[in-house]
Structure 1
Amino acid sequence: MAYSRMAWGLALELIDFRLGTFDLLPDVIGYGLLVLGLSGAGSASRPFAIGRMAAIALMLWSLPRFVGLQPSLSLLSYDTFGAAPLLLASAEAMLELAMLYGICEGIRLFAIVRENRVLARSARNGWRAVFGFSAAFLFLLPFKLNVTSVWLTAVVVLLVIGLFIACARVIFLVRRAGHVLNDGDGGPRKSSAA
């Protein structure tokens, strides 16, 4: 159940459906599911604890947006932005990275304990893909302060698409981990070695 909550939370957080300014699938609900899932997945696991703390911070961060007080920043436009909105976007992206690290590393460690090298490798590769696209995105973000070129927007669009695909792979990783590692009570299976 914990891994299912994590997968649904990631999906709700990743996909934005809006009617005007109204968010049909609020991020705050996705982060809430992630907090519940990470709490049940392994309370003693340090990576899951890191992911849970980042998800709590992101849930609080998304509350003003949920009620319409904090406008979202469109990084795909040709406009330049001030430093404050870009710093906020960078901080949010770093919290996302911490959360995804916690999820991927927690799954990787549980897979190693269960001697499932394929799942451990998938978790490591999933994290590397997310980190690579996010690092490139964060590197280009300061250029949005004063550059309005079409090529920069095109590169940002490609990075966003790559990051979307990498995050979708993490969702599938979490679902697979739920089938492989979960024993039905929300936590990882206990080792049968006595």
Structure 2
Amino acid sequence: MKRAFAQVAWGLIFTLVNIRINGFDLLHDLIGYVLILAGLSKLSRHHRGFRIALPVAWIRFVLTIAALFGVRYEVSLTRGESPDIGTISLTALAMVVELVLFYGICDGIRGMALEKGKKAIASRAGSLWRWSFALGALLLFCMPFQLNYILGEIWPILMLFALGLLVTHLLLIFLLFRAGRVFGNYGGAGSDGETVGT
């Protein structure tokens, strides 16, 4: 159990960190999603939230592979780009998938925490999901306006929402490590062969 939570946490770290040397990404998102899938495949036996997160993690994995072949599903906020409708549509799809992934992980942690009487962890997971949903929804709402306005005009707003999402992801990573420490101490919940959630 502890290892599964750690795999998801490290997977998220890999997807957030972008280190390039001569154009080569040393910590490619593909590695991150492999770790996330490995962790969720184990956690999915313990709560339905993780079972929701697992298939959407596969979608993100496929999008990441598609990116290796030139398919763009991200819009840079720092290059002054003017994205077309296709790029914005794929970016919006990727963000919706990311939000569902975030929801599944938070719901899984929250559900397991409630089962074990860990109300503080459950409350933190619920709050993280609400903040992430609010910021993600606002960012999605602003995306179509990039077709009508120069990115520089709405850049401060988009950057503010994006930074907010980054903070929620970092907090989720810390929460995953904490959940691994707490739930890893429960023999029944920690057994990979036993389902404890609904």
Q: Structures share a fold, TM > 0.5? A: yes
Matches within 5 A, 1:8-157: 8-65=10-67, 67-71=68-72, 72-148=74-150, 150-157=152-159
Shift in Å at residue 40 of structure 1?
Answer: 1.2
Structure 1 residues without counterparts, runs of 5 or longer: none
Instruction: Report if the CA contact (8 A) 2:128-2:168 is conserved.
Output: yes
Shift in Å at residue 59 of structure 1?
Answer: 0.6
Instruction: Report if the CA contact (8 A) 1:182-1:188 is conserved.
Output: yes
Q: In 2, Cα distance between the equivalents of 1:69 and 1:129?
A: 32
Given candidates 166, 169, 191, the residue that maps to 1:167 is 169
Structure 1 counterpart SS, 2:111: helix
Which letter maps to 1:129? W
Structure 2 residues without counterparts, runs of 5 or longer: none
Shift in Å at residue 150 of structure 1?
Answer: 3.1
Identity rate of aligned residues, in percent?
Answer: 31
Structure 1 counterpart SS, 2:117: coil
Instruction: Report if the CA contact (8 A) 2:30-2:61 is conserved.
Output: yes
Q: 1:40 to 1:185 in 2, by over 3 A?
A: farther
Which letter maps to 1:56? W
Q: In 1, Cα distance between the equivalents of 2:132 and 2:20?
A: 25
Shift in Å at residue 51 of structure 1?
Answer: 0.6
Instruction: Report if the CA contact (8 A) 2:44-2:54 is conserved.
Output: no
Q: 1:33 to 1:124 in 2, by over 3 A?
A: same
Given candidates 173, 179, 188, the residue that maps to 1:177 is 179
Count of aligned residue pairs for this structure pair? 190
Structure 2 counterpart SS, 1:127: helix
Q: 1:92 to 1:185 in 2, by over 3 A?
A: farther
Q: TM-score, normalised by structure 2?
A: 0.87
Deviations 1:56-75 (A, max 9, x none): 1101110132x352345314
Give the superposed CA RMSD. 2.2
Alignment partner, residue 6 of structure 1: 8
Deviations 1:100-120 (A, max 9, x none): 111000000000000110000
Shift in Å at residue 171 of structure 1?
Answer: 0.5
Structure 2 counterpart SS, 1:16: coil
The range that moved more, 147-156 or 129-138, is: 147-156
Q: In 1, Cα distance between the equivalents of 2:78 and 2:132?
A: 19
Which letter maps to 1:171? I
Shift in Å at residue 187 of structure 1?
Answer: 5.4
Instruction: Report if the CA contact (8 A) 1:38-1:48 is conserved.
Output: yes
Q: In 1, Cα distance between the equivalents of 2:23 and 2:178?
A: 34
Q: In 1, Cα distance between the equivalents of 2:126 and 2:141?
A: 22
Shift in Å at residue 149 of structure 1?
Answer: 5.3
Instruction: Report if the CA contact (8 A) 1:42-1:187 is conserved.
Output: no
Instruction: Report if the CA contact (8 A) 1:47-1:101 is conserved.
Output: yes
Q: In 1, Cα distance between the equivalents of 2:89 and 2:164?
A: 22
